[in-house]
Structure 1
Amino acid sequence: MTNTAWGRAEQQDFRSRVRGSLLGGAIGDALGAGIEFDSLESIREKYGPQGVTDYVPAYGRRGAVTDDTQMTLFTVDGLIRAQVRRDVGAWHPPSDVHAAHRRWYATQHDWGPDERKADTGWLAAQEWLYAQRAPGNACLSGLADETAGTLAAPKNPDSKGCGAVMRSAPFGLLVGWEPHLVFQLAAECGAQTHGHPTGYLSAAAFAVIVHGLVRGESLPAAAHRALTLLAAQPGHEETAHALQRALAQVRTGAPSAERVAELGEGWVAEEALAMGLYCALVAEDVTHGLLLAVNHGGDSDSTGSICGNLLGALHGETVLPPAWLAELEGRGTILELADDFALEMTHGAALHTAEHMAPGWQARYPRD
């Protein structure tokens, strides 16, 4: 889709889905943050038979997000930077996403934005992002130097943790791209930290599912498209099997924490994807789906984040529970970034050309 193809209603729908996916993912992340390392038994003992039904304190506050949301936001930043650099012939999105994730890596080591370089743009200036929220070892080691992992020479080739999946929803927001290109880009960027095929192919499958939702497909249809694209990839079996199990689990009876647990714990990529997908598939509404996604004895914030990314992309921002939005850490930044992404995708040609770039956009997303 080109910029001239966007009508007013299309722009509004797209922006709502972008906001919905990013905010929904952050809400799911925050719901799971306080129980990430707890067993289901201990969750029920502490919060009652339904488990958590609201935010619980994590990192000193309610509504705190983790590295899942942090890295997702920097993925968006990298994709915007790729678009603005395209005018001058510097078109290699994996490099721009890697550079953005390196900016995230700096937030895990620097004292604050005062230490950032002048060309890092506005997102890296947000002081609240300079907090360590249990980042995964593969993400940290994969981004520790300037060399970017590739599919041919991936970083951490034995790692299939969920750290590449949980940050990959933004690739699916590239609504003007064809699905196979979204899949390829997400896989390439996943291999920058998680080099096991299941690690990066799960990220690619997740991106394609989000992409289908933003384009108006149903969730089952989007999942089947991901399965079709997976089938041609070496090492796809674990990811494909996990997706198939999630789709089949819908037909086994009423949703429950026990049925979620049958899909895994979520620490590895394919399990996190399957659990988040299942909860989105059976969700009666966003609240039901997200609470189902976090109340288990595994990686609650990542499965909640994945489920929220999906439900937000499917329904748009207006379905998100207002009380959870009100307490969400970084809501203003997330909204601002979502709107910038939508603006870039729908009006990029008005913001920058090879010869000129709007000063405000240059300051936010430096081209050089």
Structure 2
Amino acid sequence: MGATSGAVWGRAEQQDFRSRVRGTLLGAAVGDALGSPVGGLSMDEIRETHGAEGLIDMTFGHGRRGAISHLTQLTLFTFDGLIRAQVRRDTGAWHPPTDLHRAYRRWSATQHDWGPDERRKEDGWLALEEWMYARRDPARACLIGLADETMGTLDAPKNPDERGVEAAARSAPFGLLVGWEPQLVMQLAVECAAQTHGHPTAYLAAGAYAVIVHGLARGESLDAAVQRSLQLLAARPGQQPVADALQYALGAVRRGMPTPSRVEELAGAGTADGLLSVAVYCALVGEDVRQGLCLAVNHGGPSGAAGALTGALLGALHGETALPPAWLAELEGRPTMLVLADDFAMEMTQGPALHGPGGSSPGWLTRYPRA
């Protein structure tokens, strides 16, 4: 497959890819919506509220069932930024980290503006969605990292001591660049993570996670995708905590029945490496998507992030039809997500027909401006 390399896609390939793109985005959002309402509660508190089995269904958060958090908001803007980067490539301005930074800055505006500004046509359609202007417990590192025009880089990262999971949790879309080599996927995810999370544990977890999604989107097994991620991590300074976390997840699969206590053990202090370990473990041991997600969110830690990471893996692995339909039916913003996922799949498989030497679609360039 060569989504970004100019290769011709067959119809079956395009349909499979679109299902995996939809699965990745909707899976992340469902996991986020499932887990966010219990984030920070202890397992005892979760059981006290939701019964002996813990949380097994959508519950109320932010005033409704199926509400997403800032993690999904940022993931949507990652998709938007990647499409914009592809469109801007026609102009000769090819620097995806800059396009992603602009996209994340558009998210940042949603956290302090009252609503969309119809006059700002260069912001594109996603920034005009009013429901995106809800403040959903945004991580301080994201607000600080994106508070000004200065873009964090690997040489000068924003929040250099920040080891949180939020950068990894918005990084699944990088893995859907299936026409890219895995090492380039990792590099882009790492560079974009450093815009808000400057500790190697955080940005390398984001890179490792993107490579795992990349393998799944190309039809590999989860174990094979993790092994490739480990290979690419090996040469990176500061990679040991992330590599250890992935190895720990693989080893935990052989240690008996999965339990909340084992998930908490993997999560550790709730930093990016621990939550990546949780996601890989839950995706490996879950008999289906529902079980994997319930396992991921029932622990005394960042349940929304664990759910989002796990959901994207399972969605990339199995496609959208494997996701629980009752949960999708309640998911906030699902129509927007479906449009964005389909736009991403169309751009990656048929971009030259939308904007290229043979002509361009004015409607597409209005949705995803080159400016």
TM-score normalised by L of structure 1: 0.98
Residue 289 of structure 1 aligns with which residue? 292
2:244 to 241, 245, 248: 241
The letter for the 1-side match of 2:30 is I
1:109 is aligned to 112
Aligned-residue offset at 1:163: 1.2
Q: Could you list the per-position Cα deviations for residues 97-137 of structure 1 after superposition, in whole angstroms to 9, with x for gaps in the alignment?
A: 00000000000000011377221000001111101111111
The answer for the alignment partner of 1:192 in structure 2 is 195
The AA in structure 1 aligned to 2:330 is E
Match of 2:183 in 1: 180
User: Is the 8 Å Cα contact of residues 29 and 68 (structure 1) preserved in structure 2?
Assistant: yes
Whether 2:339 is the aligned partner of 1:342: answer no
Partner amino acid, structure 2, of 1:63:
G
CA displacement at 1:341 relative to structure 2: 0.2
Q: Secondary structure at the match of 1:24?
A: helix
Measured at CA, do residues 25 and 49 of structure 1 come closer, stay the same or move farther in structure 2, by a change above 3 Å? same
Mapped partners of 2:301, 2:268: distance in 1: 4
Assess if the C-alpha contact under 8 Å between 1:116 and 1:125 holds in 2.
no
1:354–1:89 distance in 2 versus 1, CA, 3 Å: farther
Q: Deviation at 1:62?
A: 0.1
Partner of 2:154: 151
What residue number does 2:331 align with?
328
> Which 4+ stretches in 1 moved above 4 angstroms?
none
Deviation of the 1:265 alpha carbon: 4.9
Contact 1:266 1:273 (C-alpha < 8 Å) held by counterparts = no
Per the TM alignment, residue 277 of structure 1 is displaced from its structure 2 partner at its CA by 1.1
Q: Identity, % of aligned pairs? A: 65
5, 23, 27: which one pairs with 2:26? Answer: 23
Whole-angstrom distance in 2 between the partners of 1:4 and 1:281: 32
In structure 2, the partner of 1:219 is 222
Q: 1:278 aligns to what?
A: 281
When residues 49 and 10 of structure 1 are mapped into structure 2, their CA distance, relative to the original with a 3 A threshold, is same
Take 2:296 and 2:269, find their aligned partners in 1: how far apart are those partners? 10
How far, CA to CA, are the matches of 1:30 and 1:165 in structure 2?
A: 17
Most deviating of 262-271 and 220-229: 262-271
Q: Is the 8 A contact 2:353 2:359 kept in 1?
A: no
Cα distance change, pair 149–322 in 1 and its aligned pair in 2 (3 A) = same
Q: Tell me the CA shift for residue 199 of structure 1.
A: 0.7
Match among 61, 64, 68 for residue 61 of structure 1 = 64
Consecutive unaligned residues in structure 1, runs of 5 or more? none
How far does the alpha carbon of each residue in 1:320-366 deviate from its partner, in whole angstroms, 9 at most, with x for none?
A: 11100100000000000000000000000000026843111111100
Superposed CA offset, 1:143-196 (max 9, x none): 000010111111111111111100000000001000000000000000011010
In the TM superposition, residue 4 of structure 1 has moved relative to its aligned partner by 4.0
Q: C-alpha separation between the residues in 1 aligned to 2:119 and 2:158?
A: 25
2:92 is equivalent to residue 89 of structure 1: yes
* CA gap 1:32/1:266 in 2 versus in 1, 3 angstroms: farther
Q: Name the structure 1 match of 2:260.
A: 257
- 1:48 maps to which residue? 51
Deviation at 1:33, TM superposition (A): 1.5
Aligned-partner residue type, residue 80 of structure 2? D
Aligned-partner Cα distance in 1 for 2:103–2:268: 29
Question: Conserved in 2, the CA contact under 8 Å of 1:68 and 1:302?
Answer: yes
